[in-house]
Copies of this chain bind each other. A is one copy, B any other.
Amino acid sequence: YAAGDPLWGYFSAIAGQDGEIDAEELQRCLTQAGIHGTYTPFSLETCRIMIALLDIDHTGKMGFNEFKELWGALSAWKQHFCTFDQDRSGTVEPHEFSQALMAMGYRINHQTLSALIKRYSKNGRIYFDDYVACAVKLRALTDVFRRRDSMQQGFVNFMYDDFLQCTISI
Contact = CB atoms under 8 A, between A and B. Distances in A.
Interface of A: 45, 48, 58, 108-109, 111-112, 115-116, 118-119, 137-138, 141-142, 145, 149, 154-161, 163-165, 167-170
Contact of A161 (B112, B157, B164): B112
A123 to B, nearest CB: 11
The number of times this chain is found in the oligomer is 2
A19 to B, nearest CB: 19
Contacts of A167: 141, 167, 170
Contact of A145 (B48, B109, B138, B163): B163
A146 to B, nearest CB: 9
A28 to B, nearest CB: 18
A155 B155 CA distance: 13
Nearest to A60: B122
Given A155-B159, A155-B160, A112 B58 contact: no
A160 B154 contact: yes
A138 to B, nearest CB: 7
Contact of A168 (B58, B141, B156, B157): B141
A138 B109 CA distance: 27
Contacts of A48: 45
Nearest to A45: B48
Contacts of A154: 159-160
